[in-house]
Structure 1
């Protein structure tokens, strides 16, 4: 997958396009991306995803900005791992972008620069100023500009109550409630975060404290079973018990973790943490089960 940071210098001859934040690249996103790849193959053209940084709500409603499921780098890796995306265009979302009419955005960015032949989006998609560019609006616009719009139906998560649809909002809600098993079903993988090591016990390298970034979606304060590794290495995951705690006097969120083996990491290093599920009443037994899996 080729990542293109916003620029007016690139042109693609013909593509099938999807647009969105793709935060977490969850089950619903992968359904859209499978359709994207399928239509690209049928039409004999490449596929392109358009995404944004920062999150649009951080600009439009900064007081209600969501905690992110994935960093921009993680998002790129997750999108590439689907095998469905040939080009990913990352657009800076600012005040000017938020005020851009849907027609202008579609014509200048999608049609002229990406050569869009077809737009594949979820059935609840909308873009442009005031979310003017709904699926029906874009379908009418496409008749004028020569592209088709294919909305993808949102399916319920298997096993979920009340037919909950996959969404980044729902995944955040589950994580913040501490329902990591439910979030994993929606994300199709365990939730992961990168934190900065603030304390390490040198005698064993198994007891570590790390601070989580405030912009990212962290689990509720509780004990979890999972795994850890240094984020800048290809080292294997080490099973660990992760105790998430909040600082009452600030927005800091800390993780006190006990690893099943030594972690080759020092003060200030970035530590990758994988949250699998809440720990049982006996955390040691929970950790043993993860180690044996």
Structure 2
């Protein structure tokens, strides 16, 4: 997957496009991406996903941005792993872009620079100033500028009416309640956060303190069964108990973890943490 930061870097001049944050790349997102690839194959065109950094709500409502399910680097890695996206366009979201009309964004960025022939979005999608650009309005623009809109259902037919709503907001809610196994069902993978080892353990110690980036979605304070590994290199996951506490280390969120076997790690190493379920659930199983 190619990653670009300016629309004019896109060379093919013709694409099937999707837009969104895709925070966490949960199962609803993957339903959109599957339709994106299908429409791309039908049209014989590459697929382009347009996403943003930082999260738009961090700019529009800086007093209350949503905690992120994945960093930008992890989001890009998750998108690449789907195999559905040929090019990822990461646009900086700032005050200027927040004031941009949907007509300008679609006309200048998507049509003029990407050559958009089809747009694939979730059925509840909206973009542009005041979220004017919903599916119906984007279809109206499409009749003028020569593209088709394909809304993707965010639930499988078997899920309709089941209450199993799949969204980044619902996934965050579950994680913040400590219901990490329920969140994993929406993500179709364990919730994962990458942090930095704050203190190097001795050879005899299995306890490690990991400082996490500000703004990530943290599970409620509790003990969790999980797994860890150093981020660099193809190392195996090591079982661990992840202890989330209300207090922070030097003003930063941190997780104290106890590995169930030794791990080769040093201060400053990046460490990936996966949360499976509350540790108490392990004892009850």
Q: Which residue of 2 aligns with 1:181?
A: 181
Verify the 8 A CA contact 1:238 1:259 in the aligned structure 2. yes
Q: Could you say which residue in structure 1 is the equivalent of 2:54?
A: 54
Q: Distance in 1 between matches of 2:177 and 2:87?
A: 35
**TM-score normalised by L of structure 1:** 0.92
TM-score by length of 2: 0.94
Give the direction of change, closer, same or farther, for the CA distance of 1:169–1:182 in structure 2 (3 Å limit). same
Distance 1:259 1:159, change over 3 A: farther
Secondary structure, aligned partner of 1:165? coil
**CA-atom RMSD in angstroms:** 2.1
**Stretch of structure 1 that moved more, 17-26 or 259-268:** 259-268
In the TM superposition, residue 7 of structure 1 has moved relative to its aligned partner by 5.0
Q: Give the distance between the partners of 1:213 and 1:156, measured in 2 at CA.
A: 34
Change (3 A) 1:151 1:159: closer
**What is the deviation of 1:212?**
1.8
How big is each residue's C-alpha offset from its partner over 1:77-127, in whole Å with a ceiling of 9 and x where there is no partner? 100111100111000000000000101100111111111111000111111
Alignment of 1:156-235 (within 5 A): 163-235=163-235
Deviations 1:206-261 (A, max 9, x none): 21111222211111100000101111121100001111112179853321111121
Residue 154 of structure 1 and its aligned partner are, at CA, apart by 2.2
- Identify the residue that residue 27 of structure 1 maps to in structure 2: 27
Q: How far is the alpha carbon of 1:10 from its aligned partner?
A: 3.5
Instruction: Spell out, residue by residue over 1:166-198, the C-alpha distance to the aligned partner (whole angstroms, 9 max, x if none).
Output: 111111110010001110000000000112212
For the residue of structure 2 that corresponds to 1:163, the secondary structure is: coil
User: Once structures 1 and 2 are overlaid, which stretch shifts more, 48-57 or 245-254?
Assistant: 245-254
Structure 1 unmatched ranges of 5 or more: none
Moved more, 220-229 or 204-213: 204-213
For these two proteins, the number of residue pairs brought into alignment is: 285
- Which residue of the partner structure matches residue 142 of structure 1? 142
The CA deviation at 1:9 is 4.3
Query: Which residue number in structure 2 is paired with residue 125 of structure 1?
Result: 125
